[in-house]
Amino acid sequence: MNINQYILEEIKPLHLTGLVKGAQKVFKNNPITHFPVIENNKLLGSFAENDIQTIENKEDQLVNYGHLLNSFYADEKASVLELLKIFADNDTNIIPVLNKHKEYIGYFDLRDILDVFSTSPFMVEQSENLIIEKMRNDYSMSQIVQIIESNGGKLLGLYISEKNTDVIQVNIKVISNDINEIMQTFRRYDYKIISMHENDIYLEDLKNRSEYLKKYLDM
């Protein structure tokens, strides 16, 4: 998919020679958290709505508030996951976009990128969602892929969903006719299955054993 088709130019970028009231009007008329400032097609940064709306002197030029500019942008060839990270890291719903010459060419809107992600095969394909956990120094992405494929599964995608100093959790989307075989193999390699699954043979066995033990103790 060519993500460039989602680059927008509907709202014209701000300029430091403009007035505060003009920037405040842009934010008032559009549901955006930030908006870019350019000069000679070069990105200077982005003003945040919260900063601009608190400026009392509406006749001031924006150049007097250059210290409030936030520095973030995306390359025109950025992937959806890279864009989602920039959105999250900067708590924004707008990302300025630069071409290979570092010239401003428009912006990405969070809503569009979320729509792209939500319709990707990773999200819409009928699949199993596994969350596995292992010691941070022991896990291997290549091993995870090998375990899935050696058991006849097809990997749609994976990402690290949680990480601390000791353990790491990986969220996996996989197509499989026998998810139990994959889960059992992960367990043999000392991965812990965090997600819950119907017909999990391992958990069913533990459940049966615990019920038997409970009956025994109640005798």
Count of alpha carbons within 13 angstroms of residue 74, beta-carbon side:
31
For the domain spanning 3-117, the CATH number is 3.10.580.10
Residue 159 reports pLDDT greater than 80: yes
**DSSP string across 98-153:** E-TTS-EEEEEEHHHHHHHHHTSHHHHS--EEEEEEEETTT--HHHHHHHHHHTT-
**Mean pLDDT value of segment 116-143:** 85
Region(s) of the chain under CATH 3.10.580.10 = 3-117
Query: Could you give the percent of the chain with pLDDT greater than 70?
Result: 89
pLDDT digits (tens, 9 = 90+) for 7-32: 999 999 999 999 999 999 999 999 99
Please give the residue that has the higher pLDDT: either 123 or 139: 139
Q: Which residue has the higher pLDDT, 210 or 124?
A: 124
Q: Report yes or no: 16 and 66 within 8 Å, Cβ to Cβ.
A: yes
Distance CA 85, CA 117 (A): 13
Question: Start-end ranges of CATH 3.30.70.1340 in the chain?
Answer: 126-218
| Structure-token pair, residue 118 | 């939500």
Residue 88, pLDDT > 70, answer yes
pTM: 0.70
Q: Identify the CATH homologous superfamily for domain 126-218.
A: MTH889-like domain (3.30.70.1340)
* Region for 157 from its dihedrals, namely left if φ exceeds 0, alpha if ψ lies in -120 to 50, beta otherwise: left
